Chain A
Amino acid sequence: MSEKTIDFEKSLERLETLVNEMENDELALEEMIKHFEEGSKLVALCSKKLTEVEQKIEKLVKKGDGLSTEAFEAAD
Chain B
Amino acid sequence: MDENCKIYSVTELNRIARMTLENGIGEVWVEGEISRLTRHASGHWYFTLKDEAAAVSCAMFKQNNAMVLFHPKDGIKVRVLGQASLYEARGNYQLIAHKMEEAGKGDLQEQFEKLKAKLAAEGLFDADRKKPLPMLPRKIGVVTSPTGAAVRDIINVLTRRFPNLEILLAPVTVQGPTAAKSIAKAIRYLNKVTQASRLHPDERDARATLGIDLLIVGRGGGSLEDLWAFNEEVVARAIAASDIPVISAVGHEIDFTISDFVADLRAPTPSAAAELAVPVQSELENQMTRLAARLGGSLRNRALVLREKIPGFRQSMNQSLRAGLQQRQQRIDEAALRLTHELKNSVTIQKQRLPSLQQSMRHALDSAVKENAQSVMRLKAQLRALSPLGVLDRGYSLTETADGTVVRDATAVKKGDRLKTRFAKGSVTSEILSKE
Contacts and interface: CB of A to CB of B under 8 A. Distances in A.
B207 A69 contact: yes
Nearest to B305: A25
Interface string A15-35: 110110011010001001101
Given A32-B298, A33-B299, A43 B164 contact: no
Nearest to A43: B292
B288 interface: yes
The number of chain A residues touching the other chain, given as a range, is 35 or more
Contacts of A68: 206-207
A57 B155 contact: yes
Interface string B210-249: 1101000000000000000000000000000000110000
SS of A interface (majority): helix
Contacts of A76: 152
Contacts of B139: 53
Contacts of A33: 299
Interface residues of B, number: 48
A12 to B, nearest CB: 7
Interface string B196-207: 001000000011
B110 interface: no
Nearest to B166: A56
B29 interface: no
Interface stretch (B72-80, B127-135, B405-413): B127-135
Nearest to B194: A2
Contact of B291 (A8, A19, A50): A19
A1 B166 contact: no
Contacts of B295: 15, 18-19, 22, 35-36, 39-40, 43
Given A16-B291, A19-B291, A59-B146, A1 B132 contact: yes
A54 interface: yes
Contacts of A18: 295
A49 B254 CA distance: 37
B37 interface: no
B284 interface: yes
B285 interface: yes
Contact of B285 (A50, A58, A72): A50
Between A16, A49, A57, the greatest number of chain B beta carbons within 10 A of the residue's beta carbon is seen for A57
Interface in B274-293: 281, 284-285, 287-288, 291-292
11 contacts: A2-B134, A2-B210, A4-B138, A15-B295, A22-B294, A25-B302, A32-B298, A58-B166, A59-B169, A60-B168, A72-B155
Interface of B: 131-132, 134-139, 146-147, 151-152, 155-156, 159, 163-171, 186, 189, 198, 206-207, 210-211, 213, 244-245, 281, 284-285, 287-288, 291-292, 294-296, 298-299, 302, 306
Interface of A: 1-2, 4-6, 8-9, 12, 15-16, 18-19, 22-23, 25, 29, 32-33, 35-36, 39-40, 43, 46-47, 49-61, 67-69, 72, 74-76
